[in-house]
Homo-oligomer: A and B are copies of this chain.
Amino acid sequence: MDAPHETALQLLARKLNLHHRLSEVHQHAILALPHKIRRLEAHSYILREGDRPDRCAVLLQGYAVRHKSTGDGSRQILAINIPGEALDFQNLFLEEADHNVQMLSRGVVADVSREAIEALIATHSEIGRAILITTLIEASIFREWVVNVGQRDSRTRIAHLLCEFAYRLNAQELNTDGFYELPITQEQLADATGLTSVHVNRVLQALQRDGLIERDRRMIRFPSWERMQDVADFNPRYLHTADLAP
């Protein structure tokens, strides 16, 4: 396949290294992690609320979402994960999963057992620290989502989500020439922003009319990153990543 097994965990190493510099030794330890490659269909679940996971999946190709439902059946998307991100640290160290993790597209993950990760941390405390830092950053992103959904109007809200996604793709060097794919439907975008898909559609059209975004299918481009960032009230501080604006 496009991603040879040899490079499977390099993505993870790069991601961890992004936030907390790791020595060669530590990076090699990550690359030596025993793991199993698994191919997944679109919409398949990696983890369900209530599960007691004993392994951690690292996303290699494709996109995934975390989500959670309320008693009346409505669904909130909590995060969109991109290649290179670990999908279950959140759940691996807690008794049971408090949310679902589901593939958006078809994709590939590398499964690493809980024991392997625990051994890695026990041997390399710096890696434990890198994981803690990654976890703290994810918490920071959730905080920003609370702000986004709690305080911003629909236009700013959607623009903010688009900015965050573009920025994170860029940090993982996954976007090309300004255009990037937003791998989700308007319905899902609605679930992520606490709006309805009808309203999301109208807001996207308005952003387009105002020349803030260009759309082709699910590809999106910002004619002016600065203007978009401004409309979105987007300040990347909460991502705790060296500035890598598109």
Contacts and interface: CB of A to CB of B under 8 A. Distances in A.
A99 interface: yes
A142 B143 CA distance: 6
29 contacts: A50-B237, A68-B144, A70-B156, A72-B233, A75-B151, A76-B150, A78-B146, A78-B147, A90-B136, A90-B139, A90-B140, A93-B132, A93-B133, A94-B136, A94-B140, A96-B237, A98-B140, A98-B144, A98-B240, A99-B140, A135-B139, A138-B139, A139-B139, A139-B142, A142-B142, A142-B146, A146-B149, A150-B193, A150-B194
A7 interface: no
A93 B147 CA distance: 22
Contacts of A71: 233
Contacts of A49: 237
Which of A95, A145, A147, A238 has the largest number of chain B CB atoms within 10 A?
Answer: A147
Interface residues of A, number: 50
A176 interface: no
A164 to B, nearest CB: 13
A149 B149 contact: yes
